[in-house]
Structure 1
């Protein structure tokens, strides 16, 4: 799967009932998983013994899990719950019929767009598994790391930008609808203030 070396392949099913019992999930979480997921299986183990890449300070090994979905419009909380509960670093391949997307949890749930299953591949790029895992995060979230930033710093910057852009859009809609000149002017001032803040991010 994903063009990974054959030596990494596993075929370990994770029965949902065992998953519920191990993590003592509440009824609502169980119902979400049952509604969205057909089955879960661990399909690859990326470790120094399997790929001859040195372990990192943080990442000693990571796994690839194949998650067969019942529908494409799944509840993201379901996938986030699974990713957070499993203690190992886990790259999820979410499959629905002939399409798939990659997902993982790092600070928040990150996903690629849907693509045909066969179009996905993952390159194990890096001298250690720390670097390999970071490069996979970059591939999944599509982040462009600016000079001087770490991955986590860049993710925070991007989140801040998105938040400010959404606020500008929201205020702009209000300003367009507003008929009172004074309120319209105040909204315009707020928009300009946020735009200046955005330039500095």
Structure 2
């Protein structure tokens, strides 16, 4: 499944009732979760014990792959984020809807991949130990390139900062385009110019 070795495969359902009990959710919270998620199963455990030749990591000892059957494609991402609190382990979620799959992973925050046909959804085990394998899986899902001298966590922070600056620039450009007063137009222009300088300095 997902291109992983057969030795990693598991089949263990996580009943939604157990999730509700663990979090002591109110009826409205349960209904919100149930509106998105039909079923959750642990389908693989990747560790040095289940993958011959794969070394244990200094940080990552194993990770789980959970198949999540969705009731709708436009789900609430917070329902998946809640699942990251259920098991204190590294996890990859394979979100499935209508023969298509989207991977999700929590690494400083929750990331999702693009949707793809389920038969083409693959998790590559690239690396000699679990620390490297896990980081490479996260990179693949996040679609991020780590610049030389940065850790993955640092690169995510840099990319987030750059994305926020781009959003600020876009907002100011719209404001400047609609502004009638020359003085305020000039103020917007100067702010945009300064933000672009900051953007270019962030690496």
| TM-score higher than 0.5 | yes
1:32 maps to what in 2?
Answer: 32
Dislocated runs of 4+, deviation >4 Å: none
Query: 8 Å contact 1:94–1:100 — kept in the other structure?
Result: yes
Could you tell me which runs of 5 or more consecutive residues in structure 1 were left unpaired when the two chains were aligned: none
2:129 aligned with 1:155: no
Paired positions, count: 201
1:47 maps to what in 2?
Answer: 47
1:181 maps to what in 2?
Answer: 182
Query: 8 Å contact 1:8–1:51 — kept in the other structure?
Result: yes
Q: CA deviation at 1:25?
A: 3.2
Deviates more, 1:156-165 or 1:48-57: 48-57
2:145 maps to what in 1?
Answer: 144
Q: Which string of whole-angstrom CA distances, capped at 9 and with x for unpartnered residues, describes residues 53-106 of structure 1?
A: 111121111100000000010001111111233211110000001111000111
Q: Which string of whole-angstrom CA distances, capped at 9 and with x for unpartnered residues, describes residues 91-147 of structure 1?
A: 000000111100011111100011111111111111111111100000000001111
1:16 maps to what in 2?
Answer: 16
TM-score, length-normalised on structure 2?
Answer: 0.96
2:198 aligned with 1:194: no
Give the 3-state SS of the residue equivalent to 1:199 in structure 2.
helix
TM-score, length-normalised on structure 1?
Answer: 0.97
Residues 28 and 161 of structure 1: CA distance in aligned 2, closer, same or farther (over 3 Å): farther
1:129 maps to what in 2?
Answer: 130
Cα separation, 2, equivalents of 1:157 and 1:177:
31
Give the 3-state SS of the residue equivalent to 1:11 in structure 2.
strand
Deviates more, 1:28-37 or 1:50-59: 28-37
RMSD over aligned Cα atoms = 1.0
Could you tell me which runs of 5 or more consecutive residues in structure 2 were left unpaired when the two chains were aligned: none
Give the 3-state SS of the residue equivalent to 1:49 in structure 2.
coil
